[in-house]
Chains A and B, each alone.
Chain A
Amino acid sequence: MARREDLTGRALVTPTVLVVALVVLLPFLASVVFAFLDLDVIDIGPLGTGSIEFTLANFTAAVTSSGFWSALWTTLIYAAATTIGSVVVGLAVSLALRKPFRGRGIIRGLVLVPYVLPVVAAVMIWQQLLNTQYGVVNALGEQFFGWTEPISFLSTTSQDLAGIPVPVTLIVVVLFEIWKSAPLAYLFITARLLAVPRDTEEAALIDGAAPSQQLRYVLLPQLYGVLALLGVLRFIWSFQNFNDIYLLTGGAGGTQVLAVRVYEELTTQGDIGSASALGLIMMVVLSVFLLIYVRMSRKEVSQ
């Protein structure tokens, strides 16, 4: 019986394992090999027929190429800022919508709009909002805030504001990502809030805890788990995000993140080797963060 169960179990997962192996694992291994080869897009045809020579040139070229370190830095800032932003906004919104009131159902539905909206549609709408000729943001700015000329929100690396250089476009892509991903954080936090036992909160209330103290000492400790999980997932997803930034700015205005660089290596440079090497470097950075998280969660368990 146990042996039959073993066989059936393996048979049932086989289709999934096959697909994942063929489309995820094997390509990843191939990418590791490509990273050590001098391989261009034009070579795709005779691939594997010529002599293969392993080289570290792709990595040294990637790390020493102009803009690599600034792209890595931009990626880290982008990932950290959107992670913190979307978790904080998600938390604030789910607390604000916690108590029932008239119309809450509709608002709860509306909150999810940015998350559900296809990314391409969302970007097109934002591009119109921020357009320099007819965008409503610039029109409002010129009419009511005395802007002398429209701000090109999607291609301004740095603009002085009261003497301080402000990375306008980077802020826009971060805000876009917070807007797009905070609803998911809101969903997870709301689901967790439903499971918070009422009696601890009531006890704190009877003991005379102010609302902010209740949040700090009663609610937040219950939410730490889900906040940490959200933080890690969001960081991983933001770190590798390509669509949103590529569609919004194409990497202009100081928003060239590593993912956009990989894409450009592959398509404009046609250099498979460097694109793979860059991708591997991304994986290494990501796995460092994953390891930190795993160690942190182990410590928490053992305490």
Chain B
Amino acid sequence: MTGVATVRKPKGSTRHRIENRAIPILRWTLIVLTVLACAGPLLYGVLLSVRPLTQVINEPLAIFPPLSELDFSSYATALKDESQGGFGLARFMGNTLYVAIGTVILAILCSVLGAYAAVRLRFFGRDTVNGMFLGVYLFPGIVLAVPLFVVFSRIGLRGELIGLVLIYLAQTVPVALYMLRNYFLAVPESIEEAAMIDGCSRLQVIRRIVLPTAMPGIISTGLYVFMIAWNEFLYALLFLADDRDRWTVSLGVAQLSDFAVPATVLMAGSIAMTIPIVIVFIMAQRLLLTGLTAGAEK
């Protein structure tokens, strides 16, 4: 705390004057740069997806096309099935939806039970289990990819969407559990005890008291898991690359970029795969942010 003594300076010193003038300028420059950097690329992608390809190539700097020239055909091309001359993105999105929803349901089921146990129950090995979950959170995905590739090939799960669900489940459950813990801690223990004295079992307590009270937390955790499963790329690449019918949307868009697919179609695909995520995020922004940063306040 010696620092505090040295910072005493009369108000209105040169240092104050310079800083008080410079900081607002710096601050606003930074804010403008931030907005440009964050929104700029996405906007560029959206605009690229609605311009005709020849126009993009001839006039790369005409980023904002006149309204009359907007061309939405890239979206149709990207989404339509291959049999109709498209790139099958709608089908890939269906696959991803299946995987993501499966992961969400299982992850919520596992993490509700696990988080409740971690918060309310004293049991042998609790600390070990908690430590293990933290370890999973930090485990390199690429290191696990090698053995999972071998094991899943061996038992015939490679190339199956259900195999991906299992992996995504294991990868998201630790975070889900951690997020839910904070919500469960907020449920008053006295109500649970009263219910148990009235004859409720543990599972009934969870279903009738904990779940309704912690519902916002459960929804936000579910949406977070959904986002992770929707965006995942590495395992989809390793396990599904051979089988075009099972591609997820991440894999589909990435593979398209290897073929000579027009830039506008590629952008249409990228924007199309982003829209569900944006909707999910807007729906639950406040919930998600409090859940994610719950640990940062200490």
- Of residues 191 through 211 on chain A, the ones whose CB sits less than 8 Å from some CB of chain B are 191-192, 194-195, 204, 207-211
B122 touches A125 (CB 8 A): no
Q: How far is the CB of A82 from chain B (nearest CB, A)?
A: 15
B186 CB–A CB distance under 8 Å: no
Q: Which of the candidate stretches A104-112, A155-163, A164-172, A295-303 sits at the interface with the other chain?
A: A104-112
Known A-B contacts A15-B109, A140-B61; A34 and B147 likewise in contact (beta carbons under 8 Å)? yes
A114 CB–B CB distance under 8 Å: yes
**A123 CA / B297 CA spacing, docked (Å):** 32
A97 touches B60 (CB 8 A): no
Residues from chain B with Cβ under 8 Å of A283 in the complex: 140, 143
Residues from chain A with Cβ under 8 Å of B125 in the complex: 10
Known A-B contacts A9-B121, A117-B42, A194-B297; A23 and B166 likewise in contact (beta carbons under 8 Å)? yes
A188 CB–B CB distance under 8 Å: yes
B146 touches A121 (CB 8 A): no
Q: Which of the candidate stretches B4-12, B69-77, B212-220 sits at the interface with the other chain?
A: B4-12
Q: 28 A–B contact pairs at CB < 8 A?
A: A5-B123, A8-B123, A10-B124, A12-B121, A13-B117, A20-B173, A28-B139, A44-B154, A96-B30, A107-B34, A110-B38, A116-B227, A118-B273, A118-B274, A120-B231, A120-B249, A121-B271, A124-B269, A124-B270, A133-B60, A138-B60, A183-B38, A204-B4, A229-B296, A243-B233, A247-B233, A272-B146, A283-B140
Known A-B contacts A129-B41, A243-B234, A266-B145; A282 and B140 likewise in contact (beta carbons under 8 Å)? yes
A111 touches B34 (CB 8 A): yes
Known A-B contacts A134-B60, A283-B143; A126 and B8 likewise in contact (beta carbons under 8 Å)? no
**Contact partner, A125, options B150, B270, B297, Cβ 8 Å:** B270
Residues from chain B with Cβ under 8 Å of A195 in the complex: 297
B121 touches A276 (CB 8 A): no
**A189 CA / B296 CA spacing, docked (Å):** 7
Please count how many residues in chain A sit with their CB below 8 Å of the partner chain's CB atoms. 104
A20 touches B257 (CB 8 A): no
Residues from chain A with Cβ under 8 Å of B57 in the complex: 133-134
A272 touches B150 (CB 8 A): yes
A96 touches B27 (CB 8 A): yes
**A92 CA / B26 CA spacing, docked (Å):** 10
A15 touches B293 (CB 8 A): no
In the complex formed, the residue of B with least CB distance to A243 is: B233
Residues from chain B with Cβ under 8 Å of A26 in the complex: 151
A28 touches B147 (CB 8 A): yes
B161 CB–A CB distance under 8 Å: no
Residues from chain A with Cβ under 8 Å of B9 in the complex: 208-210, 213
Known A-B contacts A23-B169, A107-B35; A120 and B142 likewise in contact (beta carbons under 8 Å)? no
A55 CB–B CB distance under 8 Å: no
In the complex formed, the residue of B with least CB distance to A138 is: B60
A96 touches B136 (CB 8 A): no
**A259 CA / B278 CA spacing, docked (Å):** 29
Q: How far is the CB of A282 from chain B (nearest CB, A)?
A: 6
B167 touches A23 (CB 8 A): yes
Residues from chain B with Cβ under 8 Å of A294 in the complex: none
A212 CB–B CB distance under 8 Å: yes
Partner-B contacts on A (CB < 8 A)? 2, 5-10, 12-13, 15-17, 19-20, 22-28, 30-31, 34, 44, 47, 92-93, 96-97, 107, 109-114, 116-129, 131, 133-136, 138-140, 143, 179, 183, 187-192, 194-195, 204, 207-213, 216-217, 225-226, 229, 233, 236, 239-240, 242-243, 247, 259, 262-263, 266-267, 272, 275-276, 279-280, 282-283, 286, 290
In the complex formed, the residue of B with least CB distance to A186 is: B34
In the complex formed, the residue of A with least CB distance to B139 is: A24
**A217 CA / B138 CA spacing, docked (Å):** 32
**A100 CA / B145 CA spacing, docked (Å):** 45
**A17 CA / B132 CA spacing, docked (Å):** 9
B253 CB–A CB distance under 8 Å: yes
In the complex formed, the residue of A with least CB distance to B36 is: A110
**Contact partner, A262, options B143, B170, B267, Cβ 8 Å:** B143
Residues from chain A with Cβ under 8 Å of B118 in the complex: 13
Partner-A contacts on B (CB < 8 A)? 3-4, 7-11, 13, 15-16, 19-20, 23, 27, 30-31, 34-35, 37-39, 41-42, 44-45, 48, 56-57, 60-61, 63, 109-111, 113-114, 116-118, 121-126, 129, 132-133, 136, 138-151, 153-154, 166-167, 169-170, 173-174, 177, 202, 227, 230-231, 233-234, 238, 249-250, 253-254, 257, 263, 266-267, 269-271, 273-274, 277-278, 281, 285, 289, 292-293, 296-298
A118 touches B231 (CB 8 A): yes
In the complex formed, the residue of B with least CB distance to A286 is: B140
Interchain residue pairs A-B with the least CB separation, the first 7: A9-B123, A9-B121, A240-B140, A191-B293, A27-B147, A23-B170, A121-B270
**Contact partner, A107, options B31, B149, B153, B233, Cβ 8 Å:** B31
In the complex formed, the residue of B with least CB distance to A15 is: B110
Residues from chain B with Cβ under 8 Å of A126 in the complex: 41
A12 touches B114 (CB 8 A): yes
**Contact partner, B114, options A13, A123, A229, Cβ 8 Å:** A13
**Contact partner, A127, options B8, B30, B202, B257, Cβ 8 Å:** B257
**A124 CA / B41 CA spacing, docked (Å):** 10
Known A-B contacts A23-B166, A93-B34; A135 and B15 likewise in contact (beta carbons under 8 Å)? no
Residues from chain A with Cβ under 8 Å of B227 in the complex: 116
In the complex formed, the residue of B with least CB distance to A217 is: B3
B263 touches A134 (CB 8 A): yes
**A262 CA / B278 CA spacing, docked (Å):** 33
